[in-house]
Amino acid sequence: MGAAQEQEQALRQLPGMSKTTRPRPLDDVRVIAVEQYGAGPFGSVHLAELGADVIKIEDVRSGGDVGRAVPPYQSGDDSLFFEAFNHDKRSVALDLANDAGRAVFHDLVRVSDAVYSNLRGDIPAKLGLTYADLAQVNRRIVCVSLSGFGMTGPRRAEPAYDYILQGLAGWQSLTGDPAGPPTKSGLSLVDYSGGLVAALALLAGVHAARRDGMGCDCDTSLFDTAMSMLTYVAAWTLADDGGYEPERLPFSAHPSIVPFQNFRTADGWIVVVCAKEKFWQRLVEALGIAAVRDDPRFAGFAARRANRELVASTLQEVLATRTTGDWIATLTAAGVPCGPINDVRAALADPQTAARALVAETEHPAFGRARWIASPVRVGQSVETHRRAPGLGEHTESVLRDVLGYDPAHVAELREGGAFGARDDRA
């Protein structure tokens, strides 16, 4: 019996509970998201996939979330970029600078658990999105800010983007070939990691608010996130002797473990990892070079690190003689950790991707269907159905009616007062 079947069997033994009736983990959490583009939406979309009601506040005067206009695959007020970050959310058109719009926002705060934003560090206070601003509206509200540099410090008012942070936090100095320029990651990892940090802070804040009856501010930043991910490299650099200097190494090699890097094959690239001595012993046997075991330059982690170039060249000479597929089969059978260097299309086609149900999709009016990578955060049964990302202001009237209980006359009055901006015909 598989894990999914065991969970379903366990649920059947609980009165009135089954896979289809058990609420998702965050079904009782409502988040008001003043967010756009990548970092903030990436964090909140994981909350949405876990069942949270994420209500995205968008200013229609500016066209809403700037991600709606990102090419390629862009149509009208939507794009596949926007879909990837905003599926399973709702969109409400609201002008937070308008008194009537602000009143609606406060009504949403009253019935929500968190206000989540990714704005410049000085903006939440200016827009009234901090706990000091909203505690009188809802004492339990959790105010999460994901900014570039945080709400304090000399850079708090500076804009920040992933590329800038990868340079500022030292990441680019560690990435790429030693003979080449500093290089950023192929993905916006500071943005994405920052979004996950903000989502984690939100969950911790909501838990504490329900326990203590009092909300709080969660001041998270991309800079803090990027710096924290230096981990052991920072610890080594901060060592009292000051003797360690981080550097880029050829073929994306690990700074201390050898071999632990990319190698060329006859038709591509392979990653070989010998993080344990037993893997090294298996590797040399599988490559047919077991004789190097008698060479003291190859004996143990310290010796191999001291003779990094010799070790790498010795392995490279053999690995270049066969294809990636051949070596993957041989080394896997021998129990050596390894893997191919896939392009994105090959990664998406990997059998493990399908086995883990990582590609989700919905029907889409402009694109036929929209597909994206599902959240890796698995809690209980995985989500099997999704909603496409919302149109700009698509849920304004339904949220006002069903969440806040506004009648049509009050909605019309708010519209007349400019609460929803100049393009509220989309609501």
Q: pLDDT digit string (tens) for 176-213?
A: 999 999 999 999 999 999 999 999 999 999 999 999 99
* Beta strands at 74-75 and 78-79: parallel, antiparallel or unpaired: antiparallel
The CATH fold of domain 251-264+269-340? formyl-coa transferase, domain 3 (3.30.1540)
Angle at 218 between CA 217 and CA 220, to 5 degrees: 140
Q: What's at 294, amino acid-wise?
A: D
* CATH 3.30.1540.10 in the chain, residue ranges: 251-264+269-340
% of the chain residues with pLDDT over 90:
89
Residue 201 is predicted with a pLDDT of: 98
Residue 426 is predicted with a pLDDT of: 42
Indicate if the pLDDT at residue 349 is higher than 80: yes
Q: What's the whole-number mean pLDDT along residues 310-336?
A: 98
Q: What's the whole-number mean pLDDT along residues 336-346?
A: 97
Chain centroid to CA 43: how far? 6
- CATH number 3.40.50.10540 given to 14-229+360-426: yes
CA distance 400 to 324: 57
Indicate if the pLDDT at residue 149 is higher than 50: yes
Q: What's the whole-number mean pLDDT along residues 275-280?
A: 97
- Residue 332, token pair as written in the block: 């896997």
Please report how many Cα atoms fall inside a 13 Å half-sphere around the Cα of residue 400, on the Cβ side: 26
* CATH 3.40.50.10540 in the chain, residue ranges: 14-229+360-426
> pLDDT band at 381, cuts 50/70/90?
confident
> pLDDT band at 326, cuts 50/70/90?
very high
Task: Write b or e for each residue in 168-182: b if 16 or more Cβ atoms lie within 10 A of its Cβ, otherwise e.
Answer: bbbbbebbeeeeeee
Q: Which residue has the higher pLDDT, 222 or 17?
A: 222
* Beta strands at 74-75 and 269-273: parallel, antiparallel or unpaired: unpaired
Residue 383: what are its φ and ψ, rounded to 5°?
-75, 135
Q: What's the whole-number mean pLDDT along residues 280-297?
A: 96
Indicate if the pLDDT at residue 380 is higher than 90: no
Question: In 3D, which of 116, 117, 114, 156 has the Cα closest to residue 137?
Answer: 114
